[in-house]
Chain A
Amino acid sequence: MIAQIELTGVNKHYGNYHALKDIDLSIEKGSFTALVGPSGCGKSTLLRSLAGLESISTGTLKIAGDVMNKVPPRKRDVAMVFQSYALYPHMTVEENLTYSLRVRGMPKTEARKAAAEVARTTGLSHLLDRYPRELSGGQRQRVAMSRAIIRHPKAFLFDEPLSNLDAALRVHMRKEIRALHDRLGATSVYVTHDQIEAMTMADRVVVMRAGIIEQQGRPLDLYDKPANKFVAGFIGSPAMNFIPAQGGQDGRSVVLDLGQPQSVDVGYPVQPGRELTVGLRPEHITLAPPDKAMLKVPVAVVESTGAATYLTTATTPELAVVINGRGGTAAGETVGLDFEPAQLHLFDVKTERRI
């Protein structure tokens, strides 16, 4: 694997505030990496550090093998798509597209040819003479993308580029950006707070919290084997259920505490009496006849979208359950719930790490 972007021991301080803490990250050439996390987790700071808009306090930042710690943005040869698109309002679409080329001294005719070419692939050909204020949100987004791809930078940096679009367009642009990435064979780093975007678009997902990388890996690995409770709760929608539990006396089961204790044989050794948090995804729970089911619980809320039914149980803590199709239950009824013991995720109560 060739690392296109490499960060080693990167720290960023703003006065007393420690925004990035010992970040080690290697981004493979040609990969699509999503940085995801709640707001204030440092993902945008990390991206801006890659662009050179923030300088890192300590550590090493390499792009294509060259140390970039003190290199100004214009010499890093990266392109960035901003959340607000940051289109130059006093320039036409064409001037916006060619700006980076003209700044680098490309002759105007050549730059215009490049703009026409890019505009054709992104469907902007008929808008080249317009000003940004005359475009719709989706068109502006496209201009911002085109401006990034017109030169062939060492990396594309996306800072929540879809968050200003409506839901339908966002889903569409998700695919379009990914297709563009594949076509250009580019290296992309994509910041988002939306874990669905991260899961669907990226080859690698980096989950951050409070300036720390909590876990990085392939999307489904993060889903299947979250390294800690935070990642488990962050990845997946609706969010994973967390149930307080204890190691069972037989050494191979856990006792779930859902109001009344419920022992589940997990098939591998668990230290008896150990305090645990057990995670269980809503989509891994199935309905079963109450007398044969592992859990027998009353239902508090039933919400149906037609394709799926979302149940919330009247237990403490309450459980979310997703069932395909119609559930056939109503609020107040008692239902039986089943799940595969292998689908349980066990976390230590104190460290919140996966066991």
Chain B
Amino acid sequence: MSERTHNRVMLALAILLAGIYLFPLYWMYITALKSGSEMFATPPSFWPAAPRWNTFAEVWQSRQMGRFLWNSLVIAIGATTLIAVLGVGCAYVLARYRNVWVDIGLFLVLMLQVLPASLMVTPIFVGFSQLGVLDYPRLAVVVAIAAKSMPFFVILVRATFMAVPQELEEAALVDGNSRIGAFVNIVLPLARNGILVSAILIFMQAFGEFVYSKSMIQGIELQPASVGLNSFMGPNTNEWNNIMAFATIYVTPILAVFVLLQRRIVSGLTSGALK
């Protein structure tokens, strides 16, 4: 097979796989636009005959989506800030010191990453309830998400810091800066891209978080959109177009951010964000 046909076959395969992968997303969008009867038509239509755009406005109103999205935003921003502030320092130390304790620390960090949220939620719930943290349910979720996602952030940012040559810091020290000054003036600006990218990934994770929010936030007025979407669905649900409209409103902003930033995200993850 010539290289040209080979490339074409591979491209066709890639498009096919991407199509399969993205089909649910497409289905979400068109279902949101379908009318009640068209949703259940057999054979299903792949393009809505008469798109109903006001489904979105109705769902936004009836489900009070503004409140849900605001809660999601509060939780995501809170968790991302907490993780970024604590994780950057942690990642820097793990990047700059090499000894047995650092290796043990890294191993434990990776172990934490392995534990699923649904396993951790019970002990966290009991602990938080005893400490009284559950009186501030969104804070409780923020702390829980931070604990869960910190390892991921630390490992990504550590790689970024390791890509910053130590000689630059040493040059700053000899040039007359303190260790903290060298970190703030030299290391942080050079690692900025990697930190930003990692923080965006964490934000997107936290924005969609479900398990902790579902179990720790009882009051509907404090629940994020993920829980709101879940409570929309019951055993006898048939308003799929409304559910899909909810999902569309919820997911589209994150999707847009990802598409806009994907080039930076990918390069930040692979290159250590440093020329």
Query: When chains A and B are docked, how far (Å) is the Cα of A127 from the Cα of B98?
Result: 38
- Using an 8 Å CB-CB cutoff, how does the interface string of A56-97 with B read, 1 for contact, 0 for none? 000000000000000011101011101110101110000000
Residues of A within 8 A of B170 (CB): 51, 53, 73, 80, 82, 86
Q: Please determine whether A86 and B171 come into contact, CB atoms closer than 8 angstroms.
A: yes
Report B175-191 residues with CB < 8 Å from chain A CB: 175-178, 181, 185-186, 189-190
How far in angstroms is the closest Cβ of chain B from A11? 21
Report if B251 contacts A (CB, 8 A). Answer: no
How far in angstroms is the closest Cβ of chain A from B162? 16
Query: When chains A and B are docked, how far (Å) is the Cα of A74 from the Cα of B171?
Result: 10
Report if B1 contacts A (CB, 8 A). Answer: no
Q: Please determine whether B174 and A89 come into contact, CB atoms closer than 8 angstroms.
A: no
**Which listed segment binds B: A22-30, A99-107, A242-250, A289-297?**
A99-107
How far in angstroms is the closest Cβ of chain A from B267? 16
Closest to B175 in A: A100
Residues of B within 8 A of A90 (CB): 189-190
Report B31-55 residues with CB < 8 Å from chain A CB: none
Name B176's contact: one of A82, A86, A100 (CB within 8 Å). Answer: A100
How far in angstroms is the closest Cβ of chain B from A50? 10
Q: Please determine whether A53 and B165 come into contact, CB atoms closer than 8 angstroms.
A: no
How far in angstroms is the closest Cβ of chain A from B183? 13
Residues of A within 8 A of B172 (CB): 88, 99, 103
Name A89's contact: one of B177, B178, B185, B275 (CB within 8 Å). Answer: B275
Name A147's contact: one of B175, B181, B189, B274 (CB within 8 Å). Answer: B175
Q: Please determine whether A88 and B171 come into contact, CB atoms closer than 8 angstroms.
A: yes
Report if A133 contacts B (CB, 8 A). Answer: yes
Asked whether A74 and B165 contact (CB < 8 A) given A88-B186, A89-B275, A133-B275, the answer is no
Report if B173 contacts A (CB, 8 A). Answer: yes
Asked whether A53 and B174 contact (CB < 8 A) given A88-B186, A89-B190, A103-B181, the answer is yes
Q: Please determine whether B274 and A82 come into contact, CB atoms closer than 8 angstroms.
A: no
Name A86's contact: one of B167, B177, B181 (CB within 8 Å). Answer: B167
Report if B168 contacts A (CB, 8 A). Answer: yes
Closest to B169 in A: A86
Interface size on A, residues (CB 8 A): 24
Q: Please determine whether B173 and A86 come into contact, CB atoms closer than 8 angstroms.
A: no
Interface size on B, residues (CB 8 A): 19
Residues of B within 8 A of A99 (CB): 172, 175
Q: Please determine whether B168 and A74 come into contact, CB atoms closer than 8 angstroms.
A: no
How far in angstroms is the closest Cβ of chain B from A336? 54
How far in angstroms is the closest Cβ of chain B from A49? 13
Query: When chains A and B are docked, how far (Å) is the Cα of A99 from the Cα of B173?
Result: 11
Q: Which of B174, B178, B190 has the most CB of A within 10 A?
A: B174
Q: Please determine whether A86 and B165 come into contact, CB atoms closer than 8 angstroms.
A: yes
Query: When chains A and B are docked, how far (Å) is the Cα of A52 from the Cα of B170?
Result: 10
How far in angstroms is the closest Cβ of chain A from B186? 6
Closest to A104 in B: B176
On A, residues with C-beta under 8 Å from B are 51-53, 72-74, 76, 78-80, 82-84, 86, 88-90, 99-100, 103-104, 133, 147, 157
21 A-B contact pairs sorted by A residue (CB < 8 Å): A52-B174, A53-B174, A73-B170, A74-B176, A74-B178, A76-B174, A78-B174, A80-B171, A82-B170, A86-B167, A86-B170, A86-B171, A88-B168, A88-B171, A88-B186, A89-B190, A89-B274, A100-B176, A103-B181, A103-B185, A157-B174
On B, residues with C-beta under 8 Å from A are 165, 167-168, 170-178, 181, 185-186, 189-190, 274-275
Known: A84-B167, A90-B190, A99-B175. 13 other contacts (CB 8 A): A51-B174, A53-B170, A73-B170, A73-B173, A74-B173, A82-B171, A83-B167, A86-B167, A89-B168, A99-B172, A103-B176, A103-B185, A104-B176
